Amino acid sequence: MRRRLIDAARAEFSDKGIEAGTTRGIAERAGCNEVTLFRHFSSKLKLLEAVVSDTSDDFAELCACGGGFSGDLTADLMKFAVVYNASLERCEGMARVMIGEGRRQPTLCKELIGDVLQPFHRAVASCLEQAKQSGKVRDGVDVMAFAEIFTSALMGGVLRRSSALTKLDRDAWLHQTVGLLQTGIV
């Protein structure tokens, strides 16, 4: 039941936002009553915290990119782009909600939008440091800044594509992001 409630809350918050999402709507989506919801979670905020934690765990697992870089900078950056994009598409609803409601829930927003990205940023930076050592990335490039800008561009692509604000499809956005940003560091 706990899993069903978390999944139902994720859907409710993604569809309606945190403020407009209701415990009644979540209970209906989960196929239970509000009393059951409150037995598992003492408040809507506690349920939201569980959803953010669960989404962060999913995102971190999906974004796990260990070493094993090929040495081909374009291929390695494309691997990161594909993994990150897939993770964003899976968690898009909650990411949109936390972006929109970040001022009301700054701690949860930081967890879902900020903290969860740190291991991914470090993996991208590590890849770029290796590329620097082999002369494929110029000296002076701030690899952590690149990682943040890279993920921001990819997130922007997911948000723009899902809102029909761009003519670029997923593959075109990923290739353009990798190509344009790579040009700035070689």
Residue 102 has what pLDDT? Answer: 79
Give pLDDT tens digits for 106-131. Answer: 887 777 777 778 888 988 999 999 99
- Among 55-59, 81-85, 146-150, 172-176, which stretch is predicted with the lowest mean pLDDT? 55-59
Residue 65 has what pLDDT? Answer: 62
Q: pTM value?
A: 0.79
184 secondary structure, DSSP code: T
- pLDDT at position 25 over 90: yes
- pLDDT at position 56 over 80: no
Question: Across the chain, what does the average pLDDT equal?
Answer: 89
What CA dihedral angle connects 57, 58, 63 and 64, to 10 degrees? 60
- pLDDT at position 62 over 70: no
Could you tell me which of 13, 45, 17, 39 has the C-alpha nearest to residue 26?
13
Q: Which residues lie closer than 8 Å to 76 by C-beta, 6 or more apart?
A: 69, 70, 127, 131
- pLDDT at position 66 over 70: no
Domains, in order of start, for the chain? 1-42 (1.10.10.60), 51-183 (1.10.357.10)
CA atoms of 6 and 10, how far apart (whole Å): 6
Q: With contact defined as beta carbons under 8 Å apart, do 58 and 23 qualify?
A: no
- Tell me which amino acid residue 122 is: R
Residue 97 has what pLDDT? Answer: 83
> For the chain, what is the radius of gyration of the CA atoms?
19
Average pLDDT over residues 10-24: 90
